[in-house]
Structure 1
């Protein structure tokens, strides 16, 4: 699985899953643009990855910011071969208590961000008649959990966007996939444990073992390295055989 100089734009790439994928792509011979709303973090991440990485300040909810950032990458490296739409946040509330502003914030980052980065990248991909659109979904693209109405709605929406792009992009050699992790052991996930314990009136251990890992076959978190390997496989695969498909990595929580 080699990328042979292909250029990837990775949103939310300065930390967590995004950074691990960027690291793996560089190891596989790719060039990566770390796109993040925090320019300082993006620069630190790119510096750690070496000459095959660059930092791009990008607010995925702002069309001009996205367009300018993607064009900056294409100007430097000559192409946009892979998009990994990964930027995301988590906000949990019972629906009756969910502030509308927080609903809009979450859905805008996840779903508007996927739309805007796709729109910006395909103008380059269509010209070169090739490209890979990877979207970070979730088991919650397929399942529901309490307190996560905005997140579940957004992740279900990403499935629809990816499927449409599989159809629209086919004649331009552009394929799509949705990566659907279970609970990955990142700061974003561990932050949810005390929040959910408070909202549900249970212990943090019960959140971990019953809410987060209760559906797995082995009570284990998915690791960022697992998701990075899956992203590389999809980015490097030589044909359109898997286009439009969503692939779950969840220790058996959800089985297709």
Structure 2
């Protein structure tokens, strides 16, 4: 098993992509901490993973924009399992608006969750990884780490920023056995994406069906959404890859929407 007895923290893991990653890690023997803003949902997800996969799992209430909560959550994992081997910084939200109408408070909220959250969770986990001489940091980027779309100034800015953060962690951590990479999904049909469909239809003056077929999937090779299971496989690939050959890299999984 690729992650047998590895201690893994996945943020935003009570649902969506994070939950699929946590389950995939558990299926490969990983111990999984479900860190989520919703304490009840995180505990429920942890209980389900324990029951299905027979691995240890923790439900942790964590606001990734709070340094105190992040540090407390990581400390809980260290106390339970003695270390942390894999961090997946996945927590995120979406707010869409043209730049001239984008509320500054919304801008700051977006950057705080995506960028500050990745920084704070990485900062809290890295000393423990360095102490072991091994570890994997995975940041959840997006096709929007590489490309821009209308109405998503804060999201695109934050996702571009994650590439820089991962590369710095890779440069600093490589000699200490720590790898940092970025997963860049295309559109994945989650509640986060479902919420965008009517919002973008309204802003762009087109139908919801056009948003899906033209805006979201128009540039893919097959008109298909990426799935949460697709992204979970990419996360497992990075988490189980134990040399610096893949360090400071990003991998796009988008049905060909973005190619490089």
1:44-123 → structure 2 map (5 Å cutoff): 44-50=44-50, 51-123=55-127
Structure 2 counterpart SS, 1:251: coil
Structure 1 counterpart SS, 2:206: coil
Counterpart Cα distance in 2 of 1:120 and 1:141: 24
Counterpart Cα distance in 2 of 1:151 and 1:209: 21
**Structure 1 position 212 matched with structure 2 position 208:** no
TM-score with structure 2 length normalisation? Answer: 0.97
Deviation track 1:76-129 (CA, whole Å, cap 9, x = no partner) reads 011100000000000000000000001101110000000000000001111111
Partner of 1:152: 156
**Which runs of 5 or more structure 1 residues have no equivalent in the other structure?**
none
Instruction: Report how far residue 238 of structure 1 moved.
Output: 2.4
Counterpart Cα distance in 2 of 1:19 and 1:203: 30
Deviation track 1:46-89 (CA, whole Å, cap 9, x = no partner) reads 01101421111111001011001001101101110000000000
**Structure 1 position 250 matched with structure 2 position 254:** yes
Structure 1 counterpart SS, 2:219: coil
Partner of 2:11: 11
Deviation track 1:179-237 (CA, whole Å, cap 9, x = no partner) reads 00000011110111000000110000110011000110100000000000110011011
Partner of 1:38: 38
Partner of 2:27: 27
Structure 2 counterpart SS, 1:135: strand
Counterpart Cα distance in 2 of 1:148 and 1:198: 14
TM-score with structure 1 length normalisation? Answer: 0.99
Structure 2 counterpart SS, 1:191: helix
Which of the residues 160, 176, 181 maps onto 2:180?
A: 176
Aligned length: 256
Counterpart Cα distance in 2 of 1:120 and 1:126: 11
Structure 1: which 4+ aligned runs deviate by more than 2 Å? Answer: none
Instruction: Report how far residue 4 of structure 1 moved.
Output: 1.3
Counterpart Cα distance in 2 of 1:45 and 1:73: 16
- Relative to structure 2, which stretch is displaced further, 33-42 or 48-57? 48-57
